Structure 1
Amino acid sequence: MDSKKRMSPPSATPPIRRRRFVVAVVALLAFIYFFGSPFRLPATLKDVSGISRAKIASLVKGSPAAANVDEIFGLLHLVTGDSEHEHILGHTEGFDPTKPVDLELYAAGTDNIDWNKRVVELNERYPLVVFSKSYCPYSKRAKALLATYELSPPPKIIEVDLRDDATQVKTVLTRLTHHSTFPNVIIRGKSVGGSDNLQALHADKSLRRKLEAAGLTIRGDIP
């Protein structure tokens, strides 16, 4: 018997794990070949350059908070924080205000918004928002009535007709609140209607209760 140890030839059969890996890779390549890649950017980010790492991370993780937030708060976030008067709803290609809008559009390029936290902030800082038209007599009447309440914080007035995206804002408001005329009075994300509705609430003494329940302080001499 030879004293030298003979080297046994490597096994011709690959290990089971390696075989499974190869099969999986082949199956994935076949799927991509026949059906196309499943890894595509969302429609809101197509044709957009300079996507940040934070944006990509948020897409991968998903946004469970945003899924539970009413779209009206996206609109309120946009119009109350539009200090630069960008009015992006009027300059967004392919934007259809008649259909539900992703909150990312209302974020106006701001990454990583905690929408649940933002809702709380909006309700505290702007519990009363009035979508108005500067020339509209009904809007003027509603604003005059609210002025007698001397509210704190004061109503946030959005003069829609002075915005470049007035048509888009009106369409979104109509879709979300089912109220198509101005003014449109929003208390903590809920529309209470227009001027006539406001006058009726004032007449039956329930407007005061609604405002106080929303966290507003009434300093006016209102019975």
Structure 2
Amino acid sequence: MSPIPSTSIRRRRFLLYTVLALLSVFLFFHTTGISWELPSILKDSNLPSLSRANIVSLVKFKQDSSQGSQKSKFDAKVDEIYGLIHLVTGEDEENQHVLVNMREFDPTEPVGMDVYAPGEVVHWQEEAERLDEVYPMVVFSKTFCPYSKKAKKLLEKYELVPQPMVVEVDLRDDATQIKALLTRLTSRSTFPNIIVLGESIGGSDDLNRLHENGSLKKLFEKAGFEVEGDV
């Protein structure tokens, strides 16, 4: 009786290992309840074969889609108030005409961030961080409003560094739009409206209340201000 060739033994072992591997995969999906099927693009009967180029293309498409989705979610975390702050702190005086001249603009409804930066390419997460650093406080005020005057006078006593950015809304062409936006974004329709790090801390009465109970200075310091006034 002649011995079984070694190649025949290796072939049988390979087949045995293949069957065992396939059985293990089947049992895994069966016991875990996980369903699996080929991607629809691979089911196309018109594709003669799956080349290396196909695989690279599919992987790249999946990565690009994932990154695009993550970027959208990342940008979506930036509050719309930063769009408004970006607009009102711009050095170009023409910025105040942006909202006025925009067709079908409804300030009472959420709008895309690109509305506040037409023609610009803005990475809003980075811009929000920049605005928090350069303009940590934005005071939406009106020149004739006694409450606005009272709030600005109190803020002067604190001698904050950096100084608050004061936006005199009544001197702007887009005053009506800004008032409507602030009403929606901060739930405040009156002036002044004081924004610290993207959050409204209220108006004149709220500011004075925080001052009287001794928590206003702590609030400013926590927000990154240097308080140089003797308060």
Secondary structure at the counterpart of residue 97 of structure 1? coil
- 1:66 corresponds to which residue? 75
From 110, 135, 138, the equivalent of 2:120 is 110
Summarize the Cα distance change of 1:105–1:200 in structure 2 as closer, same or farther, 3 Å threshold: same
Secondary structure at the counterpart of residue 144 of structure 2? coil
- 1:148 corresponds to which residue? 157
Cα distance per residue 1:186-210 (max 9 Å; x no partner): 0101101100000000000111111
Counterpart CA distance in 1 for 2:94 and 2:47 is 59
Counterpart CA distance in 1 for 2:204 and 2:129 is 27
Summarize the Cα distance change of 1:203–1:104 in structure 2 as closer, same or farther, 3 Å threshold: same
Contact 1:78–1:108 (CA under 8 A) maintained in structure 2: no
- 2:204 corresponds to which residue? 195
* Structure 1: gaps of 5 or more residues: 1-15, 20-58
TM-score normalised to the size of structure 2?
0.69
Secondary structure at the counterpart of residue 182 of structure 1? coil
Counterpart CA distance in 2 for 1:127 and 1:82 is 17
2:197 is matched by which residue type in structure 1? R
* Structure 2: gaps of 5 or more residues: 1-44, 49-67
Contact 1:97–1:168 (CA under 8 A) maintained in structure 2: yes
- 2:58 corresponds to which residue? none
Counterparts in 2 of 1:18-37, with a 5 A limit?
Answer: none
Summarize the Cα distance change of 1:80–1:167 in structure 2 as closer, same or farther, 3 Å threshold: same
The answer to whether structure 1 residue 94 and structure 2 residue 104 are counterparts is yes
Contact 1:202–1:208 (CA under 8 A) maintained in structure 2: yes
Secondary structure at the counterpart of residue 205 of structure 1? coil
Secondary structure at the counterpart of residue 85 of structure 1? helix
- 2:62 corresponds to which residue? none
2:111 is matched by which residue type in structure 1? V
| CA RMSD after TM alignment | 2.1
User: 1:114, CA displacement in angstroms?
Assistant: 1.1
TM-score normalised to the size of structure 1?
0.71
- 2:173 corresponds to which residue? 164
Larger Rg: 2
Q: Which has the higher helix share?
A: 2
Secondary structure at the counterpart of residue 174 of structure 1? helix
The answer to whether structure 1 residue 137 and structure 2 residue 146 are counterparts is yes
Counterpart CA distance in 2 for 1:94 and 1:61 is 30
- 1:216 corresponds to which residue? 225
